[in-house]
């Protein structure tokens, strides 16, 4: 075995569906290149399971470029694994040691029921967005560019908030399974822009109400969500959401 290859054990969560109790199963994966990504290692593991006549482990993925947020895995007690500002598909096996046992679990939250193995249903985020994460626009002629002046600081903050990919790491890492950082990012990206002002009050109230209705917990104020967010969404957005929500209730 070369210095760039390692042998590991993967202790992975197996669950047939949301009604199944679920359990951990451990598989050996040998001769893994430390230059390979975590999902490539999972592919190799699944190929081995298929060759043994066993059911491969179901996990979510799409772009594998850190853009979509589909690769939502809880690895060794951390959302997206032992690195910062990355999604699982950007995690490489060089972060692990030879003979190490790696524990892989799905997001665990009431709002994210397990579909199978490591795949969870995250349509709750879509429902929150449908409740208020939009603006009403005139569908006539396209407006002139720069017709509505927006300050550079406001535009930068809005873009930072808009970088949220909705992966759910904030929910998975929060001890209360709160979706506050996600909701705050989506509210902030509109609250900072003139186009979002018209529906600001209704948006904040509707999205928070839907978040609560879907079973997400309250903010724990520990900052774990910002720490594990692959896009580094700031807690300042939660402060802005609280202000928006307070103003909406007062004006109402």
| Element (DSSP H or E) covering residue 209 | helix 200-213
Residues 45 and 74 occupy one common structural domain: yes
Whether 64 is covered by a domain: the verdict is yes
Reduced to 3 states, what is the DSSP secondary structure of residue 204? helix
Residue ranges of the chain with per-residue pLDDT less than 70: 1-3, 143, 145, 252
Q: What's the pLDDT at 173?
A: 96
Give pLDDT tens digits for 218-228.
Answer: 999 999 999 99
Residues 72 and 165 occupy one common structural domain: no
**Predicted TM-score (pTM) of this structure:** 0.91
Whether 97 is covered by a domain: the verdict is yes
Dihedral class, residue 31 (left if φ above 0, else alpha if ψ from -120 to 50, else beta): left
Residues 66 and 98 occupy one common structural domain: yes
Q: Which residue, chain included where needed, has tokens 């396209």?
A: 142
Residues 9 and 40 occupy one common structural domain: yes
Residues 144 and 216 occupy one common structural domain: yes
Whether 168 is covered by a domain: the verdict is yes
Domain region containing 206? 123-251
Give pLDDT tens digits for 81-128.
Answer: 999 999 999 999 999 999 999 999 999 999 999 999 999 999 999 999
Residues 19 and 78 occupy one common structural domain: yes
Whether 35 is covered by a domain: the verdict is yes
Burial class from Cβ neighbours inside 10 Å (0-12, 13-18, 19+) for residue 187 reads buried
Distance CA 212, CA 245 (A): 14
CATH number at residue 208: 1.10.1060.10
Distance CA 100, CA 95 (A): 11
Q: What's the pLDDT at 145?
A: 67
Between vectors from CA 101 to CA 84 and to CA 119, what angle results, nearest 5°?
65
CATH number at residue 65: 3.10.20.30
Residues 135 and 173 occupy one common structural domain: yes
Query: What residues contact residue 12 under an 8 Å CB cut-off, 6+ apart?
Result: 24, 25, 26, 27, 57, 103, 104, 105, 117, 118
Distance CA 168, CA 82 (A): 17
Q: What's the pLDDT at 119?
A: 98
Domain end marker among 77, 105, 133: 105
Residues 101 and 193 occupy one common structural domain: no
Q: What's the pLDDT at 2?
A: 47
Of 84, 57, 59, 83, residue with least CA distance to 71: 59
Q: How far is CA 152 from CA 58, 158, 161, in A?
A: 44, 10, 14
Whether 111 is covered by a domain: the verdict is no
Whether 113 is covered by a domain: the verdict is no
Q: What's the pLDDT at 3?
A: 60
Residues 70 and 150 occupy one common structural domain: no
How many domains does the chain divide into?
Answer: 2
């Amino acid at each position: 075995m070369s210095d760039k290859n390692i042998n590991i054990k993967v202790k992975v969560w197996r669950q047939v569906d949301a009604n199944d109790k679920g359990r951990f199963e451990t598989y050996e994966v040998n001769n893994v290149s430390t230059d390979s990504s975590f999902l490539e290692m999972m592919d190799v593991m699944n190929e081995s399971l298929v060759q043994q006549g066993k059911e491969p482990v179901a996990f979510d993925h799409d772009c594998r470029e850190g853009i979509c947020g589909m690769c939502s895995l809880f690895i060794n007690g951390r959302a997206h694994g032992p690195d910062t500002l990355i999604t699982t598909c950007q995690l490489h096996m060089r972060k692990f040691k030879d003979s190490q046992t790696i524990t892989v679990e799905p997001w665990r939250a009431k709002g994210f029921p397990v579909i199978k193995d490591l795949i969870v249903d995250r349509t709750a985020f879509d429902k929150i967005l449908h409740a208020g994460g939009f603006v009403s626009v005139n569908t006539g002629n396209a407006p002139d560019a720069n017709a509505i002046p927006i300050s550079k600081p406001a535009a930068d903050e809005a873009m930072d908030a808009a970088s949220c990919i909705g992966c759910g790491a904030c929910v998975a890492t929060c001890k209360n399974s709160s979706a506050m950082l996600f909701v705050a990012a989506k509210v902030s990206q509109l609250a900072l822009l003139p186009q979002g002002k018209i529906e600001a009050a209704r948006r904040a109230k509707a999205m928070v109400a839907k978040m609560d209705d879907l079973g997400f917990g309250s903010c724990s104020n520990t900052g774990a969500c910002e720490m594990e967010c692959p896009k580094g969404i700031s807690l300042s957005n939660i402060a802005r959401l609280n202000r928006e929500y307070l103003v909406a209730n007062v004006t109402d």
